[in-house]
Chain A
Amino acid sequence: MIFVEGNTYEEKFTVSEHTHANFVALFRDNNPLHCNETFAISKGFKGKVMHGNILNGFLSYFIGECLPTKNVIIHSQEIQFKNPVYLNDELLFTAVIIGIYESVNAVEFKYDFKTASKIVAKGKIQIGILL
């Protein structure tokens, strides 16, 4: 097994205008909270709140591209959104292996996304190692 319990991985992500615009174009979620600055501010936010599921795209990148093997598949994932993410926020992503199940070639990670000041999302992902 190339994974070891306790191993930690870090990546940096930015929710850029390009990412936001492409997410909207792909999935057509034009909700004003995400796309209208005035509306979002009127609801008490600092600006447009980025779609939480953009973070799921970053998770996909992490699992698909950043692990020591490409032979992986996501079995399940959960995410809790704790604080809003705004345009051009820089996020530090940290994932820690919390469980290895060699019997079924599965690995479980706990992860979070942080801005400089707070956790904006956290959750768990279970992946399978393809033989």
Chain B
Amino acid sequence: MERSEIIQKINAIFIETLDNDDIIITEKSNANDVEEWDSLTHIQLVVAIEKAFKIRFTSKEIQSWANVGEMISNMQEKGI
């Protein structure tokens, strides 16, 4: 899957999970850029992404991401 396609799908997940239609996620986005992205919604986001893409992350992988782009790279390593 192209990175642009992944981010489009991720953006829809953020909008749904964070209940904010105005969210626009970029590869550089991180929790500091999105008001509703806190520790609890982070869990919901990860669960929603794991479900949507039928993948599983490890806690180590999650802790290594500095932004959405790094998560996408991680997803591509898993064959997405």
Contact = CB atoms under 8 A, between A and B. Distances in A.
B28 interface: no
> Which bracket fits the contact residues of A?
10 to 19
Contact of B62 (A76, A99, A104, A126): A104
Contacts of A106: 43, 47
Contacts of A75: 40, 43-44
B56 to A, nearest CB: 7
B59 interface: yes
A103 B44 contact: no
A43 B59 CA distance: 53
Enumerate the 6 nearest inter-chain pairs by beta-carbon distance, A residue then B residue, closest first. Answer: A103-B57, A104-B43, A104-B46, A101-B47, A103-B59, A103-B62
Interface of A: 75-76, 99, 101-106, 108, 126, 128
